[in-house]
A and B are shown apart, each in its own frame.
Chain A
Amino acid sequence: MSESTYTVPIGPQHPALKEPENFTLTVDGEEIIDVKIRLGYVHRGGEKAFESRTYVQNMYLIERVCGICAMAHQLCYVNNIESMMEIEVPPRAHYIRTIVAELERIHSHLLWLGVAAHEIGFDTLFMYVWRDREISLDLMEEITGNRVLHAANTLGGVRRDLSTDIISKLRKGSKIIRERAEYYKKIGLTEKTILKRAAGVGILPYKDAVELCAVGPTTRASGVKKDVRKFDPYSAYDEIPFDLITYDSCDVAARIYVRVDETIESTKIIDYAISHLPSGPIGVKAPRSVPPGEGVSLLEAPRGEDIHYCKSNGTDKPERYKVRAPTLGNWASMARMLIGGYVADVPITLAAIDPCMSCTDRMTFVDANSDKTWTWSLERLRKHAKKFYGR
Chain B
Amino acid sequence: MAMESELLRHLGKKPATIVYPFEKWEPIDAFRGKVEFDMAKCIGCGICIHDCPAFALEMVGKGLTCDMKWYPSRCIYCGQCVESCPRNAIVQTHEWNLSDSQSVEDAGKSSERWILFKRPKSE
Contact = CB atoms under 8 A, between A and B. Distances in A.
Interface of A: 53-54, 56-61, 124-125, 128, 131, 134, 141-146, 149, 151, 154, 159-160, 183, 186-187, 190-192
Given A53-B53, A128-B6, A141 B28 contact: yes
A159 B52 CA distance: 16
B113 interface: no
Contacts of B16: 131, 134
B98 interface: no
A154 B53 contact: no
Contact of A125 (B3, B28, B80): B3
B3 A187 contact: yes
Contacts of A57: 51-53, 80
B7 interface: yes
A154 B78 CA distance: 11
Contacts, number: 56
Contact of B79 (A134, A145, A186): A145
Given A131-B16, A143-B30, A145-B31, A187 B53 contact: no
Contacts of A125: 3
B15 to A, nearest CB: 9
A124 B7 contact: yes
A160 B62 CA distance: 33
Contacts of A191: 1-3
Interface in B23-41: 28, 30-32
A60 B3 contact: no
Contacts of B30: 141-145, 160
Nearest to A130: B16
Given A57-B80, A59-B53, A141-B30, 20 more contacts: A56-B53, A56-B80, A57-B52, A57-B53, A59-B80, A60-B76, A61-B53, A128-B6, A131-B16, A144-B30, A145-B32, A145-B79, A146-B77, A151-B80, A154-B83, A159-B79, A183-B6, A187-B2, A191-B1, A191-B2
B81 to A, nearest CB: 11
Interface of A is mostly: helix
A371 to B, nearest CB: 26
B50 interface: yes
Contacts of A145: 30-32, 79
B28 A60 contact: no
A186 B53 contact: no
Contact of B2 (A56, A60, A186): A186
Contacts of B80: 56-57, 59-60, 151
Nearest to B79: A151
Contacts of B2: 186-187, 190-191
Contacts of A141: 28, 30-31
Given A146-B32, A187-B2, A60 B53 contact: yes
Closest CB pairs A-B (n = 3): A60-B53, A57-B53, A191-B2
Nearest to B17: A131
A329 B1 CA distance: 37
17 contacts: A54-B51, A56-B80, A58-B53, A60-B53, A60-B76, A60-B80, A125-B3, A131-B16, A141-B31, A145-B30, A145-B32, A151-B79, A151-B80, A159-B83, A183-B6, A187-B2, A191-B2
Contacts of A154: 83
Contacts of A151: 78-80
Nearest to A166: B30
Given A131-B16, A145-B30, A190-B2, A54 B83 contact: no
Nearest to B92: A145
B97 to A, nearest CB: 16
